[in-house]
Amino acid sequence: MRILILEDEMPAQRKLANYLTDFFKVALTLERTRTVKGGIELIENSSDFDLILSDIKLLDGSSFEIFHQVATNTPIIFCTAYDEHLLEAFQTNGIAYILKPYQKKELESALEKYETLIGPKSLARNVFKQLKEIMETEGENYKKRFAIKKRGGIKLLETSHISLIQANGDFCKIVDFEGHLHSISKSIGVLFDELNPKHFFKINRSQVVGIEHIVQIEPYSKNRLALKISGFWEHAITSTSTTKDFRIWLEG
C-alpha cells in the first residue's frame, strides 16, 4: 500500500506515519514532502498512490495548488488546523478530514471512512476550487490599518507602511518606512495574527518585518541573516529556527 503524506511539520509527519502503520498492519510505502513543489513532483511521477494525507498549508503555499495543477483520483484525508466552518465543502462531498491537534482515534475514524469509500476513488475537483476561494477571501479579514493613540489624537497607520514591529512586553513598537516610531498596546503575537502572512514574517521572538520594506539581506552567522529595513537604523536578525522558512517566504 502506497501513501503520500503532505505535511510541513516534521513531528506531525512522524505521528501520521506511526498511526498509519498501526492502523493498516500491512507493509506500507510512505512518501513524504513538506512543499507544494514536492507534492506536484511526487504525484506526477507516481499515479498509483492508494491514499493521500494532506495538511492545507505547506511551506511554500497551499496544498490546493497541487490538486489544481495535477489530476489525481486518489482519496485524500486533510489534517488541518482550520476551523470547522472552513470545511463545510468537505462534508457535502464526503472527503474526510481531522482537525489539529488530532489524536489517534480521530485519524482511525477518518481511515475507516476511507475504507468505505475505497471503491470509487473519486474526488470532485470543484471542492478544491471552493476551498481555495474560501482561503483567499479569508485574507480580507487581515488588518489594513491600525488606530494609534498619539498625544494629539489618533493616527491611522496603514499596515503597508509598517517596516518592523518590535516586541516590548505587552506592548509593541512599530517602525514605519519613514523611520517614525509608534506604540501600540498589543503583544507581538496578537499583532502578528492580525497581519497578512504573505506580507509579514516573524523573524525571531521579538521582531516582525514587512516584505515591502526589506532593503538588503546579508549573511550574519551560520544559518542567520541580517536584514536592512527601511526606517530602522539597526539590522534585524533572523533566528536559526526561522531562517529556512524565511527564505521560502521571500520567494512566495
From 61, 81, 58, select the one nearest 4 (Cα to Cα). 58
Q: Which residues pair with 147 in a beta bridge?
A: 156
CA of residue 83 relative to chain centroid, distance = 14
Residue 60's contacts (CB-CB under 8 Å, 6 or more residues apart) are 35, 36, 37, 248, 251, 252
Architecture of domain 142-251: Beta Barrel (2.40)
Q: How far apart are CA 104 and CA 100, in angstroms?
A: 11
2-139 has CATH 3.40.50.2300 classification: yes
For residues 165 and 191, is the Cβ–Cβ distance under 8 A?
yes
One digit per residue, the tens of pLDDT, for the chain of length 252 reads 889 999 998 888 999 999 999 888 878 899 999 999 999 999 888 767 888 998 888 898 888 888 888 877 788 888 877 655 455 435 433 457 777 777 888 888 888 878 776 644 444 445 555 566 656 655 567 888 999 888 878 889 999 999 999 998 889 999 999 999 999 999 999 999 999 998 999 999 999 999 999 999 999 988 899 999 999 999 999 999 999 999 999 887
Residue 52 — φ and ψ, nearest 5°?
-125, 130
Question: In which residue ranges of the chain is CATH 3.40.50.2300 found?
Answer: 2-139
Q: pTM for the whole thing?
A: 0.48
Residues of the chain by 3-state class (helix, strand, coil), percent to 5: 35, 30, 30
For residues 114 and 96, is the Cβ–Cβ distance under 8 A?
yes
For residues 143 and 159, is the Cβ–Cβ distance under 8 A?
yes
25 Rama class: left (phi>0) / alpha (psi -120 to 50) / beta: left
Q: State how beta strands 61-62 and 200-204 pair.
A: unpaired
Using only C-alpha atoms, what is the Rg of the chain?
21
Question: In which residue ranges of the chain is CATH 2.40.50.1020 found?
Answer: 142-251
DSSP conformation class of 223:
T
Amino acid identity of residue 233, one-letter, is W
Q: State how beta strands 224-229 and 235-237 pair.
A: antiparallel
